[in-house]
């Protein structure tokens, strides 16, 4: 019988050692969680159990040369393997395949036999980098243009930042996020751009864990070119793809100064050929009339718009009608 107070023989000691730092991997990859005995000893006859720390449920169970799956969590069925090649040297590494966001977190590598037991914590950090941000206009608001930015496929929850042409950060007026069925995050933010913002506007979405980011830029023409009733803008992104937002009739038929109140306006918008659209508007008011037309191409979310506001200030009977306003 082992006497109390005397150390155990070396062959009975169990000291389990983890990596000492987080293990990082990306969604969809395979990862190996390292764990070993110190000093080295053959682990074939030991009981090895990997569990999730917070819920204490079994991820993988090995005992007496066999893998036991009766207590394994359903989320890990068919996805785990204790690497047998290293058992003789005391290696207890666990492979997890097809990483998911839900795999993120702490694991405990436990080892025991009839005489001893020890464990080590292994931190797994799962990450995913999402899509390039998609920028769009949300209309005029609070004396400026509301610009929206959206990106999906991130883990963990990323940061969304706005930058002007000088690299200065702009405050978001709103920001929301959601998770899909796979646990990946979609984030959306908005900013109000006023006349004080010049040059391209950039939306940056950043994964702080990976120190990776994606960004897209948008050029907004000077606001004085577009009155508040204008819902059209010709936007250029950093990838040199044009996006065109369909305009309303009021966009290109602002009243001419001698006749601020229009009597009527008529617009026609039609499609011809595949993906092409043609629109025309006419405004008639006392003393003048104006017309505009636009030609655009759209395919999915991409498109090119070429608007013209042809001022035809009819001003027919200019000399006679200007006096008809009772001036």
Q: What is the pLDDT of residue 223?
A: 54
Question: 128-245 has which fold?
Answer: Immunoglobulin-like (2.60.40)
Can you give the pLDDT at residue 2? 37
CATH of the domain spanning 12-127, picked from 1.20.210.10, 3.40.50.2000, 2.60.40.10, 3.40.190.90: 2.60.40.10
What does the pLDDT look like over 262-272, one tens digit per residue?
Answer: 444 444 544 44
Residue ranges of alpha helices (H) inside the chain are 318-321
What's the CA angle centered on 197, arms 169 and 252, to 5 degrees? Answer: 140
Q: Where in the chain is the domain with CATH 2.60.40.10?
A: 12-127, 128-245
Using the structure block, give the residue that is written with the tokens 């702009």. 170
pLDDT < 50: residue spans in the chain: 1-11, 224, 226-267, 269-277, 284-287, 289, 294, 296-327
pTM of the full predicted structure?
Answer: 0.65
Q: Tokens at residue 5, please?
A: 């107070």
* Residues 86 and 18: beta-carbon distance below 8 Å: no
């Amino acid at each position: 019988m082992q006497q109390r107070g005397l150390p155990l023989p070396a062959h009975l000691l169990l000291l389990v050692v983890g990596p000492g730092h987080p293990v990082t991997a990306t969604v969809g990859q395979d990862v190996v969680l390292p764990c070993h005995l110190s000093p080295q000893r053959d682990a074939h006859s030991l009981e090895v159990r990997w569990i999730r720390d917070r819920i204490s449920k079994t991820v993988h169970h090995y005992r007496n040369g066999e893998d036991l799956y009766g207590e394994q969590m359903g989320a890990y069925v068919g996805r785990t393997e204790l690497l047998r090649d290293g058992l003789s040297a005391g290696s207890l590494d666990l492979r997890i395949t097809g990483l998911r966001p839900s795999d993120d977190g702490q694991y405990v590598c436990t080892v025991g036999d009839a005489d001893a037991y020890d464990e080590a914590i292994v931190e797994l950090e799962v990450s995913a980098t999402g899509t390039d941000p998609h920028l769009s206009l949300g209309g005029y608001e609070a004396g400026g243009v509301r610009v929206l930015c959206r990106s999906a496929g991130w883990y963990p929850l990323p940061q969304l930042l706005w930058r002007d042409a000088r690299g200065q950060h702009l405050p978001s007026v709103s920001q929301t996020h959601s998770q899909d069925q796979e646990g990946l995050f979609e984030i959306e933010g908005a900013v109000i751009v006023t006349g004080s913002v010049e040059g391209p506007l950039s939306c940056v979405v950043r994964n702080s864990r990976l120190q990776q980011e994606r960004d897209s830029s948008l050029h907004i023409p000077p606001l004085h070119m577009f009155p508040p009733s204008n819902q059209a803008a010709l936007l250029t992104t950093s990838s040199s793809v044009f996006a065109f937002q369909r305009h309303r009739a009021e966009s290109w038929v602002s009243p001419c100064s001698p006749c601020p109140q229009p009597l009527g306006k008529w617009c026609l918008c039609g499609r011809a050929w595949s993906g092409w659209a043609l629109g025309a508007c006419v405004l008639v008011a006392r003393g003048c009339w104006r017309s505009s037309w636009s030609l655009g191409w759209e395919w999915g979310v991409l498109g090119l718009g070429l608007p013209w506001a042809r001022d035809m200030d009819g001003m027919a009977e200019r000399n006679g009608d200007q006096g008809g306003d009772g001036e």
